[in-house]
Structures are given as C-alpha cells and as structure tokens.
Amino acid sequence: MQLPILSILVFFPLAGIVFLLFLDRKNHKMLKLATLGISLLEFLFSLPLWFKFDNQTGAMQFVEHHHWLPSYGISYYVGIDGFSLLLVLLTTFLTPICVLATWEDIQHRVKEFMICLLALMSGMLGVFVALDLFLFYVFWEVMLIPMYLLIGVWGNPARRVYAAIKFFLFTMFGSLLMLVAILVLYFHCGKVTGTYTFDLLKMYAVPVPFYMQFWMFLAFGLAFAIKVPMFPFHTWLPDAHTEAPTVGSVILAAVLLKMGTYGFLRFNMPLFPQAAYYFVPLFSILALIGIVYGALVSMMQKDLKRLIAFSSVSHLGFVMLGLFTFTMAGLQGGIIQMINHGLSTGALFLIVGMIYERRHTRMIADFGGLSTPMPIFAAIFMIVALSSIGLPGLNGFVGEFLILLGAFKANMIYSTVAATGVIFAACYMLWMFQRVMFGKVTNDKNRDLKDLSWREIVIFAPLLLFIVWIGVHPNTFLDKTRATSESFLAMMEKSKAPPPKVALFQAFKGEAR
Amino acid sequence: MINIPTFTLCSIGPWVTLTGFAILILMLDALSPKGRKAYFPQLSLLGLAIAALQTWRLWGQQGTDFARMVYVDNFALAFFFILILGTALTILISRHYLEDYGKNLGEYYALVLFATVGMMLLASGAHLIMIFLGLEVMSIAVYVLAGFFREDVRSNEAALKYLLLGAFSSAFLLFGIAMLYGATGGSLYLDELSKVLLVHPFSRSLALLAIALLIVGFGFKVAAVPFHMWTPDVYEGAPTSITAFMAVGVKAAAFAAFARVFFLAFPYFMVDWNMLLWVLAVGTMTLGNVVAIAQTNIKRMLAYSSIAHAGYLLVALVAANQLGAVSLLYYLLAYTLMNLGAFGVVILVGRVKDSYLSIYDYSGLGFQHPALAAAMAVFMFALAGIPPTAGFVGKFYIFSAAVQAGYIWLAIIGVMNSLVSVYYYLRITVLMYMRPAEADLGPVAFTPALTAVLLVTALGVMFIGIFPGFFYNLAVNSVKVFPGL
C-alpha cells in the first residue's frame, strides 16, 4: 500500500500543534526549535513527492479518496499534478525558512505564533491538494483565520487591526460568492449526470451551458482575482503586507497569492472553458493594467514593504497574463513565475524584515549607503533584486521571458505592453536599491549596523540556490509541469468553441419539487 | 357519554416526565427548608435525561397519538433532542449565575421545564389548537422567566414588553387559526388542512389571510423582521441564562411549528407564502446583521445576531424542499450549541451581577484567559459561518437548499449577509486578541458546570462541523415526514 503522503503533509502540522501545546510557553527557544523541527520534517515528508512524481502524465497522482459525507457527494479527495506539485513543495520549502526568520523577530506570544504558523501551513497545503470542491472551500476559508491572527496580533501596532479585517473581509467577499457558484455548479452537475458530487474531476467532464459558465466564471474569478490580487481588487494587499510581521508577509506573498492563480488554473479555466476563452481580453487587460500600474506605483513608494507589495501586483499580473494566453509557453512561464515570485519576493520581504529588525524603520529615506557596513547583506540583496527584475541567468528572467513569448503568440500588443512592465521593474527595483544601499552613509544610525549573522545567511542560502538553479536550468522544474500543462491545454482546446449568442440573463432553474 | 380517546402513555412520556419533574421541584421548593435547595439543577437535569431517554425509545415511530393531537415522528423527536439539549445547557449555565443574584430558586427550574414542555408541544403539535397551547405554555413560562430578577428595572421592562407584545402576537396567531377554521369548515388537523383547502376553492382568500396572520404569529416568536422590535430590549434585560434559552429554545420550537404547519398544511399555497417569507428572510438577515454592527453591549449584539440567524433559517423555509427541512434541523442543532456556548462565555466574563457586558470588556481576554477566549473565538467563528465549524456546514446546507430550489439571489443575499456578520463577530476576536486589556479582568470563576458547558459546546461545534455525516443522515431521516417536499 502506498503511504498517504498528502494526508500526512496536510495533517502533520496539526499534530505538531498538539505537540507544541505541551511545551512551556516561556521557553521561546524550545518552541522555535520544535517548530523548526516540525517544519523540517514536513519538508522531508514532501520530498518523496518530487522524486516519485511521474513526469509523463498529466493525471492526478498520490491520490487519496475517502468518503466524508457520501449522501451529499462530499469526499476527502486529494491528489496533485504538476501544477500543485511545485506549489506544495514551495510551501513546505519556505516554512522552515520562515520559522528561522522568526528567531529574533517574534519575541512575544511565541507559542501562539507558532501554532498559527503551523495551522496556516496545514490550510495552505490543503488548498493545493484538494480535489473536492467542498474540501477545497473548507481549506480555503480555514486558512484565513491563522493569517488574520498573524496580521492582527503580531503586526504593526498602528494599523494591524484595520489591515487584518480588510484582508479577511475582502477574501471572504469573493469566497462567499464562489460558494454560491459552487452550489449552483453542484446542482447543475447533479441534474445533468444524475449523481450529485463535489468531485472536481467529474465536474470537469460535465458540459455547462454558456450563460451559466459566464456567471460562474465571474463568481469564481472574483474570489481568485481578489486573492491574486488583480487590479482593481488589489487594495487589501499593500495594507496586509505592510502591517503583517515579516513572516506573515513572506507567506502571504509567496504562497497565499499563489492560491489565486492556482485557483484560476485548477477551477476557473477547466470548469468553465468557454467562458475562460470569452474572458481572455478582460482578464488580459486587467493583468496588463496590474503590471504597469503596480510597477508605476511601486516606483513612488517611500516604504520598502509597500514597494514590494505593489511589485507583487505587477508580478502576479505577469502570471495572470501568461495563464490567459492558453499557450504552452505562457502557461509554463506562468507556473514557473509563481514559484519565482514566491522565492524572490519572499526573499525581499525577509531582507526588509532584517533591516527593520536592525533599524526599526522601513522608510527608504532613512537608509543610504548600507553596503558599506553590510557587504554580505548587500550582495544577497543585489542578487534577489536582480532576480525580481528578471536578469538573465536568474529565475525571474525565465518566467517573464516565457510569459512574454506566449503573450506574443497570442496577441502582440499585450506582449508589448507587458514588456514595459519589465523595464519599469528595473526602474523601481534598482532605484530603490541605489537609494538604500549605495552612496555615502548619511544617517549616523546606519553606520554601525551589523552584517548578517550565520542564521540569516542560512536563511538565504537555499533561496539563492533555487534562484540561480531556476535561472540556469529551468527544465528541472518545467519538466515536472510539462505533461500537466499539455493535458490542460488539450482539455481547454477541446472545448474551444465560439460562445453561442444567447441571453446571459437566463435564470437558473431550480429543481422540480 | 363522553368519549375519551385512547392513547399510549408512552408516546407522551417526555412531556409527562418533564411536567412531573417541574411539579416535583415546585413542591420540594415549598416544602424544603431554606438553604437546602441546591439540588434543583441536578433534579431538572435528571428529568431532562429521562425525557431524552424516552425520546430515544420513541425514535422511529411514525404517526399521531392522543386523538391525532400530537405527532410522534422523527421530526418532532429530533426537535425534542435539540430542545432537551438546549434546556440542559441552559440549566447548567444558570446555577452559578443565579447564585450571584441570590435567586437560585426552585421555580426558576420548574418554569424552564414547563417552557420546555411547551416547546416540545409546539414541535409535535398535529392540530392547530395544540400548537397554540404549546406556544402559550412556552410563552407564559418565558414571560415570567424574563422578569425573574424582579428588583431589576431592565428585567421588569423585558418581561412587560415581552408579555404585551407576545400576547398581541398570540392573538394574531389565534385569529389566523380562526380564519382557517372558517376556511376549512371546521377542521384544524394539519394533515387534513391541505386537502380540505384544495377542495374548497372559495376558501382561498380566507386561507391567504390566515397564512398571513400565522406568519405574524410565528414571525414574532422567531424574531423575524418586522416583528423583531422586542428582541433587543428583552434579550438585554432578561437574565443572561434566559436570554440564551430564548435565543435557542424558543426559536427552535417556533421554527419547528412554523415548518410543520407550512410544509404540511399549505403546500398548495407555496407560491404565496414563499414570496412573503422571501421578503421576510431578506429583511431579517439584513437588519439583524447591519444593526448588530453598531452594538456595544454583548447581549444586544447577540440579540441582533439571533435575529440574523432567524433570517438564515427563514431561507431554509423559503427553499421548502427536503434539503431545506434538513438544513433547518441541522442549523438549529448547530445554533443551539454555538449560541449557548457564547452565552456561557458572556456569563463567565460578566461575572458578579453582569458587571462586564460591554464588548470592550473582552479586550485582552485572549491573553488573560486563553481558554475562555479560545472558546469564545470558536463560537464567534461558528456564528460567522467559517469552516470547520458547525456554523459553516449549517449555512452551507441552508444556501444549498436555496440554490436547489432556484433561489440564487436569496443565496447571494444570504452569503453577503454572512460577510457583514463576519465583521461584528470578528470584532470580538479582535478585542480579545489584538487589543490590550483595559483593566485586569481578575480571576474568572470556572465552575464545573460552566466549564462542562463550554467544553461540550466548543467541541460539539467543531465535531459536528468536521463530521456532519451522522447528523445529516439523522436529519434526512427526520424530514421524511413531509411527503410533499
């Protein structure tokens, strides 16, 4: 019998929480070490996924299927394909790093923090592996609570509550409409096929009339677009990022935002393919606005965290653009860009966290000439910033290049506009880097800053490794998703038909009583 | 010669037991010397346990008894369980609270038991007069209970307000029953009503009027907008334990009768009452949730939240399909647990004589009393309908039912209302976890009974949220009594 790796991954952090409950709340070191151990174990558990994953098939692997509420067609159904594989690994890979990053940062209510972190991890993994819509929805919402607490309890005292509530309400808004759409889909599929089920793969196969696809695509799309976040639903992001503790920002940027893009891939497009093609212009243009607008707004930020937050809007715009090209290059680029953004932006938030720990400010104007007292830090910062810009040889380039390639095939204008985003990215990133790191040390407080400690270097080492690895040999990762992408595109291609000219405002008929 | 109908004592066992225990408590209260009355809670719990056992023995029966006056079927019995659970939890949270006020009197428990008997009658009535009797037995007991702290002005206000408006609404209900009596030419049995109304085409307008009046009567008891005006004042003024009892028990019983009457007696008027209830549901949800945001007294907030929950339950009625009935049962079970738990926390935090009832008294609770705050957080998230709690699954069923019946807009309005409710429920968690304490809260008296209530409700809310299967199947089993759905 095969080990239920995915279930272990999802529930092991919860077991870890139980373990943490028995530890002394005063002994911070112990708590952090225990959480680090748990998250490292979790990472080890996730490695077999990588090695045993079959590259040749686009089907679901490591599948587990158990009844949960059979009379309602709800089951505990998990499995991964190439898309989720990378995201699951990204999650398990980043969590130990996050725990290490809390070492100095989190000094009060450590136990509760670690519990939230582990609960969050469990929820995020659940979202990426769930293949049952009900199960997915449960994880999707459950994960809000620990994140809300992370921002609200450990955030910046001034505005953390505002940011936490805004984060919660924005996400809830989208997800609740999605819930209604899930129900409509469930009853539609039940009516058509005769079996009522929340099984996602079975739902893929059910034809949905276009007018229903239209509305349900919008309902699902809203939930995911808020999460991504796409312009104009991005306003919660800068607040949440700015007020969250460093680790919160890292997880938010690296993993949580990916749930939105992942949602489009896993749910929106395959469930409502006709509507997906229909909405290509709308979503592409929103993505383009996000790219350019995010980059322009980034340029004007005075706060480092806000700057990176807006750069996320821009980067995620690239991902969305790539996904909506429905070409191999765009799709693969979009997926690899999700990972890239997780690594680079995660690293950037860690960097900001580290200088914040030293100086207790994030204002660009307070810095200048940091490279003199902190040479190692400067080097790492440089590499990460360049990877975020998309310098060839580093990871960002691969993703952006593939996306632009795909977009070029689909629509030359999109590609051209998107390319300006890369230029702007170079502007805001390098300008920021210059103002923070180069020049003379103008502020006396900056003169004696300590360079990175060994712990901090250890945090960055694995991130840098992958930043270079993906940049130099992206095929290691692209191979994993190729088969999945191919079958995804084939599935999309099959249902590519011009939308029939029917009224979009037909009412959904309830079932006969 | 008077024709005495035959009956099986067994089928009315739960009522007999509870009435017996209530009378016993009253007698003992009068007979036993002062200061020796501490055993009443245990006695009432014993009565409830026996009643639960009897209900369990009856499970699976189909039919009516007592000259077709009461239903003995799974729908009624399932409600018996919910009501008994609610009453038992109420009694558990009462004792300590009453002792604070020096009011740990026998008649309190007797009245609670009488009210429970009335609720059970409501849930099982097969004849409209029976339903009215149940309603009155319940209401009169609760009127008294609301004014139980007779030296307290607010408690007096609550009782008087509830009595006056309640009597008024009972009159509406009775008037509606009278209309039906005329419309059907003399039959008030629920199972006959639908058939009789169908063959009397001229009775249609009378029946519609009756339906409207019944909706007023029931709407008052479940606190549906626009018949909700009494709710905040009464909930705020009544003893907290009774507030919990009203929010849970009265509502559940009234919904049981509401559903039974409308599903069984008026299936042919579904179009008409559906539309009316649609409007009521939307109004109730929206007003309850929006006004709850502005509340700073925790009891008032929970009062408005209970109005909102009545709105969600009305959605289940509007759906009027099997799933709707199932969701009604499931949601009321979940609501009993989460609401009673929340009121348990309110009693604990309020401490001596309700001195801490502002929501700002919850500031910093998370770090002074982590267990208490964690329990409250569970209840708040459950009331807001966030997984993996029972509150989420309940809402999920309710909105499923609405979607299944084709009421997509109702479902959308419903979920948007949940979104609004998230705001004020979250505010409690914000205060508990994200604000510093305004003052040291000092020790909280965790009595064994209250601790047990919090444990049972918090774990129960999580458990039936994560493993809803058993209760779902139970509910499906119970609603088979409505063949028309």
| Structure tokens given for B284 | 């109730």
Residue A512: its pLDDT value, please? 45
* d(CA B199, nearest CA chain A) in Å: 22
Q: B485 and chain A: CB distance < 8 Å anywhere?
A: yes
What's the pLDDT tens digit per position in B347-374?
988 877 777 888 888 888 888 888 899 9
Contact between A176 and B416 using a beta-carbon 8 Å cutoff: yes
Chains A–B, number of C-beta pairs less than 8 Å apart? 96
Contact between A176 and B418 using a beta-carbon 8 Å cutoff: yes
Torsion sign across C-alpha atoms A37, A260, A253, A331: positive
Written as one string, the DSSP assignment of B390-456 is HHHHHHHHHHHHHHHTT-HHHHHHHHHHHHHHHHHHHHHHHHHHHS--SS--------HHHHHHHHH
Q: B405 and chain A: CB distance < 8 Å anywhere?
A: yes
Contact between B415 and A176 using a beta-carbon 8 Å cutoff: yes
- Helix, strand, or coil (residue A79): strand
Mean pLDDT, 10 residues at a time, chain A of 513 residues: 83 90 85 90 90 86 88 89 91 91 82 90 92 92 90 85 90 91 92 88 87 90 91 88 89 91 92 89 92 91 90 91 90 92 92 87 85 87 90 89 90 89 89 87 79 87 91 89 89 76 61 48
The domain ranges of chain A are 292-495
Q: B321 and chain A: CB distance < 8 Å anywhere?
A: yes
Q: B175 and chain A: CB distance < 8 Å anywhere?
A: no
Contacts of A508 in chain B (CB under 8 A): 403, 406, 408
Residue A502: its pLDDT value, please? 62
Contacts of B406 in chain A (CB under 8 A): 507-511
Q: Is the pTM of this model over 0.90?
A: yes
What's the pLDDT tens digit per position in A282-318?
999 999 999 999 999 998 888 889 999 999 999 999 9
What's the pLDDT tens digit per position in B90-138?
999 998 888 888 877 888 999 999 999 999 999 999 999 999 999 999 9
Contact between A513 and B381 using a beta-carbon 8 Å cutoff: no
What's the pLDDT tens digit per position in B88-98?
999 999 988 88
| Structure tokens given for A428 | 């805001």
Q: How large a percentage of chain B has pLDDT more than 70?
A: 98
Contacts of B400 in chain A (CB under 8 A): 183, 186-187
pLDDT at B339 over 90: yes
For residue B484, give the DSSP letter. Answer: T
Task: Give the DSSP H/E element, type plus range, for residue B170.
Answer: helix B153-184
Q: Lowest-pLDDT range, A105-114, A219-228, B276-285, B420-429?
A: A105-114
Q: Which of B286, B287, B227 is nearest to B254 (CA)?
A: B227
* d(CA A8, nearest CA chain B) in Å: 18
Contact between A180 and B320 using a beta-carbon 8 Å cutoff: no
- Chain A's closest residue to B399, CA to CA, is A180
When pLDDT is averaged across residues B318-324 and rounded to a whole number, the result is 90
Residue that the structure tokens 């018996």 belong to? B80
pLDDT at B247 over 60: yes
Residue A513: its pLDDT value, please? 43
Q: B406 and chain A: CB distance < 8 Å anywhere?
A: yes
Q: Predicted ipTM?
A: 0.91
- Please report the beta strands in A283-364, taking only residues with DSSP state E, as ranges in sequence order: none
* d(CA A239, nearest CA chain B) in Å: 17
| Structure tokens given for A240 | 């949440």
pLDDT-based confidence at residue B186 (cuts at 50, 70, 90): confident
Contact between A152 and B434 using a beta-carbon 8 Å cutoff: yes
Q: B416 and chain A: CB distance < 8 Å anywhere?
A: yes
- Identify whether the C-beta of residue B476 lies closer than 8 Å to the C-beta of residue B326: yes
* d(CA B85, nearest CA chain A) in Å: 24
Furthest-apart CA pair in chain B: how many Å?
76
Residue A160: which of B418, B426, B434 has the nearest Cβ?
Answer: B434
- Chain A's closest residue to B426, CA to CA, is A165
The domain ranges of chain B are 13-481
pLDDT-based confidence at residue B2 (cuts at 50, 70, 90): low
pLDDT at B266 over 90: no
Look over chain B and give the mean of its residue pLDDT values, rounded to a whole number. 89
